[in-house]
Amino acid sequence: MIELTIYGIVLGSIIALGSMGLTLIWGITDLFNCAHGDQMTVGAYSAFIFTSLFAHLNILQTKVGPFSFNWGIVVAFIPAILISIMLAVAIDRWVYQPLRRAGVHSITGFIASIGVAWALRGVVYIIWGADFHFYNQGLRPTIVFQSGIKFRVDEIFIVIVSWLSVLFVYLFLNRTRTGKALRALADNQSLALVSGINVERMLIWAWSVAGLLIAVAGILYGIETQLRPEMGWIFLLPLFAAVILGGQGSITGALIGGLVMGIAQQVSTAWLAPSYKPAVAFIIMILVLIFRPQGILGRRSR
Amino acid sequence: MNILEVQDVVSGYGSMEVLHGVSITVEQGKVVTLLGPNGAGKTTLLRTIFGLVKPTKGKIFYKGDDITGIPPQEMARIGLCYVPQEENIFPTLTVQENLEMGAFIRKDDYTDRMEEIFSFFPDLTDRRKSRAGDLSGGMRQMLAIGRALMLNPEVLLLDEPSTGLAPVLVDHIFERIKFLNEQGVTILLVEQNAQALSTADKAYIMEGGEKKAEGPAKELMANEEIGKHYLGR
């Protein structure tokens, strides 16, 4: 049970990273970006490009402390994040911005984002094929406590990196002028416009934050499990549930929603077959929405 | 001097024409009020002046310059600020952050101005760190006005600041508006509440997208026919 909770927190932290970016974009543009999961896949594979390169050049191959991975993956975070940010901004510029300009309904953007998702996954399949890939081969060390509770050492790294990223974004949104303007924009777009806040310029920031978080989520998920082209697309369901649970546009809500989803899914496997995990997540989501239709921290309907 | 001049403006939303040719003038340093029932086009007129709605005909002048069709974010730069009637705060931001957003386009240090605004609305001072969405109706209106004041506007466009407030708070808001005017801010005030006349120098009465009467506020108040017809007396 405790083991499942620990694993739930690990998974929940990764879900939270993905859902924060998703809800930020949703809050500002009313777009529910279905490509977010596949952007996560691209983030994970971008890091794989660099770990493969480092392996080929035989540099940065020393293991990091007690963890299963080497310094290559730690360094690979940086270029992978940059690629992910550029991809996010480019998708918005070339796909969603023209749709916004045309003033289409948000459902059109939703459908378009499914198209983007399939396109991204297609590219991943073309380049890397359908096989599983690993950042590092070999054993994954575990810690076993006297009480019999055990977990993988890598999970400590995953939780720390997740929460550092969350802290970073929290500080950005609450302490900087740009971050505050992003929150203002999600709060009340017409008033932001009246205050002279440039919506399109702010959106570049929003997509950059989303791109950063989703790349970190993708790499961490890759460390925890393995790389496969469907990893992000399947991950979209818990992201979706976490965001809805938290309430549209609520960053803190997405954080809580992500943790709830991660823990609930894992703990449920104590009684149910693991294949029921997504169902458990959605039952919780539906129950919450029956009693709080706006989500845990969502805005009340206007 | 006329700081703001609206000439024969025709405007509306899509194919729905709301204003059928309205002209008003606002003199520098005065309080001018637009009175009229719901649907008279008062809000549309404010939104048209501020560039949120594009007029199909007519012109708008600010200090003698044609500002017709200038986007709203430019308005803030030239000295016009607008306080919408509803949804005029950022609910999940704190009071102080709301004021900071009001000063978003200012590149200079605006801490003095913020303190000044807190001194205009002392009630807000204790609530600096509170979420704006948790404020009472009266405080929200003060915050909304405070946000618009962060840019030291020369003209403040106010849309029904008395909506939904208890009479004692309405008095307080109008008293604050008078005070701001004494500080040199020109005010164009949209109201349904005839009490606004007592604060105003000049008034226009609107109905059905047209101007029905205009004149010094005191005269309109004294006019029996207007009182009966439009002011509910």
Each of the 233 residues of chain B gets a pLDDT tens digit; together they read: 899 999 999 999 988 999 999 999 999 999 999 998 888 999 999 999 999 999 999 999 999 999 998 988 889 889 999 999 989 999 999 999 999 999 999 889 999 999 999 999 999 999 999 999 999 999 999 999 999 999 999 999 999 999 888 888 999 999 999 999 999 999 999 998 888 888 899 999 999 999 988 989 888 888 877 777 776 66
In the predicted structure, residue A198 carries a pLDDT above the cut 60: yes
Alpha helices in chain B (DSSP H): 42-49, 72-78, 95-102, 111-120, 122-125, 137-149, 167-182, 217-222, 224-230
Query: According to the model, what pLDDT value does residue B232 have?
Result: 66
- Answer whether A140's CB lies under 8 Å from A68's CB: yes
Give the separation between CA A96 and CA A32, rounded to whole angstroms: 11
Residue numbers in B near A176 (CB within 8 A) = none
- Answer whether B91's CB lies under 8 Å from B131's CB: yes
The answer to whether A254 contacts chain B (CB < 8 Å) is: no
Evaluate whether residue A204 is within a structural domain.
yes
Number of domains in chain A: 1
Query: What is the residue type of B29?
Result: G
Residue numbers in A near B135 (CB within 8 A) = none
For the CA atoms of A260, A263, A266, A267, the dihedral, rounded to the nearest 10 degrees, stands at -110
Query: According to the model, what pLDDT value does residue B12 have?
Result: 92
User: How many other β-carbons are positioned within 10 Å of the β-carbon of residue A95?
Assistant: 18
Query: According to the model, what pLDDT value does residue A281 have?
Result: 82
Q: Indicate yes or no: CB of B90 within 8 angstroms of CB of A177.
A: no
| A227: β partners | A133
Q: Which A residues 263-302 touch B at CB under 8 Å? A: 299, 302
Domain that holds residue B141: 2-230
Q: Exposed, middle or buried by CB within 10 Å (0-12, 13-18, 19+), for B145?
A: buried
- Answer whether B134's CB lies under 8 Å from B87's CB: no
Q: Mean pLDDT across chain A, nearest whole number?
A: 91
Q: What is the CATH number of the domain that holds A284?
A: 1.10.3470
Between chain A and chain B, how many beta carbons pairs sit less than 8 Å apart?
Answer: 64
Q: Indicate yes or no: CB of B52 within 8 angstroms of CB of A184.
A: no
Lowest mean pLDDT segment, chosen from A24-38, A138-152, B155-169: A138-152
- Answer whether A199's CB lies under 8 Å from A189's CB: yes
Residue numbers in A near B106 (CB within 8 A) = none
Q: Indicate yes or no: CB of B72 within 8 angstroms of CB of A191.
A: no
Nearest residue of chain B to residue A173 (CA atoms)? B93
Residue numbers in B near A184 (CB within 8 A) = 90, 93, 97, 101
Q: CB neighbours of A29 closer than 8 A, spacing ≥ 6? A: A96, A100, A106, A109, A203
In the predicted structure, residue A44 carries a pLDDT above the cut 60: yes
Max CA pair span of chain A: 63
Q: What is the CATH number of the domain that holds B210?
A: 3.40.50.300
How many angstroms separate the CA of residue A257 from the nearest CA in chain B? 18
Interval A222-239: pLDDT, tens: 999 999 999 999 999 899
E strand or H helix at B189: strand B186-191
Evaluate whether residue A72 is within a structural domain.
yes
- Answer whether A99's CB lies under 8 Å from A112's CB: yes
Residue numbers in A near B76 (CB within 8 A) = 194-196
How many angstroms separate the CA of residue A180 from the nearest CA in chain B? 7
Number of domains in chain B: 1
In the predicted structure, residue A125 carries a pLDDT above the cut 50: yes
Mean pLDDT of A104-128: 94
Residue numbers in B near A302 (CB within 8 A) = 87
Give the separation between CA A126 and CA A128, rounded to whole angstroms: 6
Domain that holds residue A259: 2-291
Give the separation between CA A262 and CA A239, rounded to whole angstroms: 10
Query: According to the model, what pLDDT value does residue A299 have?
Result: 64
DSSP letter for B135, please.
S
Q: Which is higher by pLDDT, A192 or B76?
A: A192
DSSP letter for A299, please.
P
Evaluate whether residue A282 is within a structural domain.
yes
Q: Which is higher by pLDDT, A61 or A120?
A: A120
Of A181, A196, A250, the CB nearest to B77: A196
Query: According to the model, what pLDDT value does residue B189 have?
Result: 95
